[in-house]
Amino acid sequence: MTDAEILERIRAIFNENFGIEPERVTLEAHLFEELDLDSIDAVDLAIKLQEMTGRRIKPEEFKTVRTVGDVVAAVQSLLAA
């Protein structure tokens, strides 16, 4: 799966689950400051990413995720595992 494909899936997740317009979901967008996610939203996002990849995300790995680009990188590393 390419970064662009992952970004499209992430945009769909953000729109369906958090009501965030896809055009706001850019690689540089900060999850908490710009997209207004909170810690519960982050847990929901981690669950959706697990469903998307079929792999479990370790909480300590997800704590370093701050931007949409970080989410794309996390998904790539899950898929590569």
Give me the CATH number covering residue 76.
1.10.1200.10
Other CB atoms within 10 A of residue 75 CB:
22
pLDDT band at 78; cut points 50, 70, 90: confident
Q: Give yes or no for a contact between 35 and 20, defined as CB atoms under 8 angstroms apart.
A: yes
Work out the pLDDT band at 71, boundaries 50, 70, 90: very high
Residue 71, domain extent:
3-80
Q: What percent of the chain has pLDDT over 90?
A: 78
Cα–Cα distance for residue pair 42/18, rounded to 1 Å: 11
